[in-house]
Amino acid sequence: MITIREIDTFIVDIPTIRPHVLAMATMHHQSIVIVRMRDSDGVEGVGEGTTIGGLSYGEESPEGIKLAIDTYIAPVLKTCDATRVGAAMAAIGRGVVGNHIAKCAVETALLDMAGKRLGVPVSELIGGGRVRDSLPVAWTLASGDTARDIEEAERVLAERRHNIFKLKIGKRGVRADVAHVAAIKRAVGDRGSVRVDVNQNWDEAQADLGMRLLEDAGCDLVEQPVARHDHAAMARLSAKHVIPLMADEALHGPRDAFVIAARGAARIFAVKIAQSGGLLSAHAVATIAQAGGVGLYGGTMLEGGVGTAASAHLCASLPSLAWGTELFGPLLLTQDILAEPLRYADFELAVPTGPGLGIALDEDRIAFHRRDRTAPALHVVAERA
């Protein structure tokens, strides 16, 4: 049996290029958890676990992700065959409840190792394999300033980097937020799609008003306007408005996907590998959506290069991706942690083609941004006797 011999889990803190304003927090940096493993054959894999705004967004924090991997997941891994990813993740699932982002980081590293061992990209190990080599990528306008957001949109349009724009709203009153969105849509016109993400910050009455006004403003979709648990409100809003409602925070794996699709509570799913608990669970979420007639969108937790590459491999395997993706995370950071950055051009992201994730870490930048500012030797995991 090929076993996991070494594990290193650490946090890197990287500043953002500008304040990133969400309904629940303003981000000035991103904290990324990296897990690096090596098996008994010497094959190395890397994964990432990233969340948004510490604990203001969800139940997992960077520090908690690292603790879950080091304290609870690593001991389970030492009993598993490193070549059997599904079996290893099932064993982890039996021993660790929740902690989807930590599980995603570990599964990503295992899939990276599996792809390298077989000499194929991770996307060929998911579902029926890769069906596309590049992905449309949205850019989030989240400075909170209308003029600045218009200037930013014009710049990335001119660079042919993005022609899909998602606006973070929900901090101001509904009408003020809609006026902000409408001004940006007027500036962009037919050159790009404009969408909004409320991050659960409206009640049903506010969402009812907001969705009506946003449709009139030319907005294409509204992401998670109400609380994630309020499926009844989501269903009523979806049935009432032409503008589609996209579920995001409400989706934490296949069970949520089934309930939301069955209730007609959303017409689009933002599929995130982190919230789903890994690439394999995210693929199951997408399969349920497609069976229920729900559109797909590749979501992000503002991951760095590792998590973004993993998400790209998942999205490359989905038969339908009508609403594109927002896998722009590395572009929001002042430094890229990959030796060769992911390639964004002509409004799309190229999916890596090398074995595994098809990426390598920039060790110097990792060492500089590593929170502990040290690079201890990989933790050796004892083999099962």
Kindly list the catalytic residues. 168
The tally of CA atoms less than 13 A away on the side-chain side of residue 251 is 38
CB 257 within 8 A of CB 231: no
The tally of CA atoms less than 13 A away on the side-chain side of residue 239 is 10
CA angle 213, 214, 217 (to 5 degrees): 90
Closest by alpha carbon to 248, among 206, 298, 211?
A: 298
CB 300 within 8 A of CB 326: yes
State CA 215 to chain mean position distance: 26
Closest by alpha carbon to 185, among 225, 238, 146?
A: 146
Q: Burial-class residue 117 by CB neighbours within 10 Å (0-12, 13-18, 19+).
A: middle
Angle, helix 100-118 to helix 279-291, in steps of 10 degrees: 100
Name the token pair of 265.
């509570």
Q: Helices (DSSP H) in 96-145: which residue ranges?
A: 100-118
The neighbour count for residue 97, using CB atoms within 10 Å, is 7
Q: List residues bridging with 33 in a β-sheet.
A: 11, 49
Calpha distance 253→261 (Å, rounded): 12
